[in-house]
Amino acid sequence: MKEVYEGVPEGAAVAIAVDRTIVGQESILDQVWRCITEQKKNNGIIGLYGMGGIGKTTLLKQVNNKFCSEEHDFDVVIWSVVSREPNLKQIQEDIGKRIGFSTDSWQRKSFGERASDITNTLRHKKFVLLLDDIWESEIDLTKLGVPLQTLDSGSRIVFTTRFEGTCGKMGAHKNRYKVFCLGDDDAWKLFEGVVGSYVLNKHPDIPKLADDVA
């Protein structure tokens, strides 16, 4: 049994539910995964940007879930949703929960105390912090307690945003990926997946009609 788990720290990541049919993100998922896991020079901050509804959250969830199914040497993968009105205390709570600070007394600590607890713990870990949906103003990770100096030893921050400018503000200068809309074939596959081939083939005209509409 032991060998099976070696290299895959149990519980490093917590799986997140994704839609049943995800199509067309294999290639970008693969690129992002390599950027996270390869040792090559990388400042550790990776931005995924693209318009609303294009699939950024879906992609980031798949990145998260890959940590449950692939081999890697990260100690902990943390997920937090930022959104338009960021709640820094909530982000601290999401981080805290994943690294063992979930008691009521920890919740009652001041922002600064929580930040230093987070720093002292994450400093010794190889972590991945996944931040979904950062808007136009950047998030001050140092203030939250995230020790950015650990990025040099392989920890990673991956975030999504609608704004390419936010990538720069957050420090993703080189490592940024644009999430595009699906190509025709993939869009069709998705449509078929949602509607079901049973419905599509019920009447000989339906596939042609659907194709014209698309």
Ligand X SMILES: Nc1ncnc2c1ncn2[C@@H]1O[C@H](COP(=O)(O)OP(=O)(O)O)[C@@H](O)[C@H]1O
Residues that bind ligand X (CB under 6 A): 19, 21-25, 50, 52-58, 182, 190
Radius of gyration of the chain (CA): 20
Minimum CB distance to Mg ion smaller for 82 or for 141? 82
145: left (phi over 0), alpha (psi -120 to 50) or beta: left
72: left (phi over 0), alpha (psi -120 to 50) or beta: beta
Q: Cα dihedral angle (51, 91, 88, 100), rounded to 10 degrees? A: -170
Partners of 109 in the β-ladder: none
26 binds, among Mg ion, ligand X, none (CB under 5 to 8 A by kind): none
Minimum CB distance to ligand X smaller for 35 or for 134? 134
Q: How far is the CB of 188 from ligand X (least distance, A)?
A: 12
Residue 197: its H or E element: helix 197-200
Q: How far is the CB of 85 from ligand X (least distance, A)?
A: 16
23 binds, among ligand X, Mg ion, none (CB under 5 to 8 A by kind): ligand X
Minimum CB distance to ligand X smaller for 21 or for 142? 21
Binding site for Mg ion (CB under 5 A): 56-57, 133
Cα three-residue angle 146-110-80, rounded to 5 degrees: 40
C-beta nearest to ligand X: residue: 55
Q: How far is the CB of 181 from ligand X (least distance, A)?
A: 9
Minimum CB distance to Mg ion smaller for 55 or for 145? 55
Tokens of 200: 């599509």
Q: How far is the CB of 170 from Mg ion (least distance, A)?
A: 16
